[in-house]
Amino acid sequence: MEHQAFIKTKFTDDCNHIMNREFSGYIFVSGKVMPRISNIEISEIERAMNSPLDSVNEHLKQALSLISKKENPDYRNSIKESISAG
Protein backbone atom coordinates (compact mmCIF):
# COMPACT_ATOMS: atom_id res chain seq x y z
CA MET A 1 0.00 0.00 0.00
CA GLU A 2 2.88 2.41 0.72
CA HIS A 3 4.10 2.03 -2.87
CA GLN A 4 0.65 2.94 -4.25
CA ALA A 5 0.51 6.05 -2.05
CA PHE A 6 3.97 7.06 -3.28
CA ILE A 7 2.93 6.60 -6.92
CA LYS A 8 -0.29 8.60 -6.36
CA THR A 9 1.67 11.41 -4.67
CA LYS A 10 4.31 11.41 -7.40
CA PHE A 11 1.60 11.51 -10.08
CA THR A 12 -0.24 14.45 -8.52
CA ASP A 13 3.06 16.28 -7.86
CA ASP A 14 4.10 15.77 -11.49
CA CYS A 15 0.68 16.91 -12.74
CA ASN A 16 0.77 20.00 -10.52
CA HIS A 17 4.26 20.82 -11.81
CA ILE A 18 3.01 20.64 -15.40
CA MET A 19 -0.17 22.59 -14.61
CA ASN A 20 1.95 25.29 -12.91
CA ARG A 21 4.32 25.43 -15.88
CA GLU A 22 1.41 25.73 -18.32
CA PHE A 23 -0.44 28.30 -16.15
CA SER A 24 -3.45 26.02 -15.81
CA GLY A 25 -6.44 27.32 -13.89
CA TYR A 26 -6.65 24.01 -12.01
CA ILE A 27 -4.53 22.04 -9.57
CA PHE A 28 -4.68 18.77 -7.62
CA VAL A 29 -5.48 19.12 -3.91
CA SER A 30 -5.80 15.90 -1.89
CA GLY A 31 -6.42 13.90 -5.05
CA LYS A 32 -9.14 16.19 -6.42
CA VAL A 33 -8.84 18.64 -9.31
CA MET A 34 -10.02 22.08 -8.30
CA PRO A 35 -9.60 25.71 -9.33
CA ARG A 36 -6.14 27.09 -8.59
CA ILE A 37 -5.56 28.45 -5.11
CA SER A 38 -2.44 29.62 -3.29
CA ASN A 39 0.19 27.21 -1.93
CA ILE A 40 -0.67 28.36 1.58
CA GLU A 41 -4.34 27.45 1.06
CA ILE A 42 -3.36 24.06 -0.39
CA SER A 43 -1.15 23.20 2.58
CA GLU A 44 -3.82 24.29 5.05
CA ILE A 45 -6.46 22.14 3.33
CA GLU A 46 -4.13 19.15 3.32
CA ARG A 47 -3.16 19.75 6.97
CA ALA A 48 -6.82 19.95 8.01
CA MET A 49 -7.63 16.76 6.11
CA ASN A 50 -5.11 14.88 8.26
CA SER A 51 -7.12 15.40 11.43
CA PRO A 52 -7.17 12.52 13.90
CA LEU A 53 -10.98 12.89 13.98
CA ASP A 54 -12.73 10.81 11.31
CA SER A 55 -15.83 13.03 11.29
CA VAL A 56 -13.71 16.11 10.51
CA ASN A 57 -11.96 14.27 7.68
CA GLU A 58 -15.27 13.11 6.20
CA HIS A 59 -16.80 16.60 6.21
CA LEU A 60 -13.69 18.13 4.64
CA LYS A 61 -13.48 15.36 2.06
CA GLN A 62 -17.12 15.98 1.11
CA ALA A 63 -16.54 19.77 0.99
CA LEU A 64 -13.58 19.30 -1.34
CA SER A 65 -15.57 16.93 -3.54
CA LEU A 66 -18.45 19.41 -3.82
CA ILE A 67 -16.27 22.40 -4.67
CA SER A 68 -14.11 20.51 -7.17
CA LYS A 69 -16.98 19.59 -9.53
CA LYS A 70 -15.64 21.20 -12.69
CA GLU A 71 -18.94 21.72 -14.51
CA ASN A 72 -21.04 22.78 -11.56
CA PRO A 73 -19.22 23.45 -8.26
CA ASP A 74 -21.56 23.34 -5.28
CA TYR A 75 -20.14 26.22 -3.23
CA ARG A 76 -23.07 26.46 -0.86
CA ASN A 77 -22.97 22.84 0.31
CA SER A 78 -19.17 22.85 0.31
CA ILE A 79 -19.27 25.74 2.79
CA LYS A 80 -21.84 23.88 4.91
CA GLU A 81 -19.61 20.78 5.01
CA SER A 82 -16.58 22.91 5.91
CA ILE A 83 -18.47 24.50 8.79
CA SER A 84 -19.68 21.09 9.98
CA ALA A 85 -16.07 19.90 10.13
CA GLY A 86 -15.25 22.57 12.72
pLDDT at 86: 79
pTM score, whole prediction: 0.60
40, 29 contact by CB (below 8 A): no
74, 67 contact by CB (below 8 A): yes
pLDDT in tens, 21-74: 998 988 888 888 888 888 888 888 888 888 888 898 899 989 988 988 878 889
> How confident is residue 9, by pLDDT bands cut at 50, 70 and 90?
confident
Q: Where are the domains of the chain?
A: 2-85
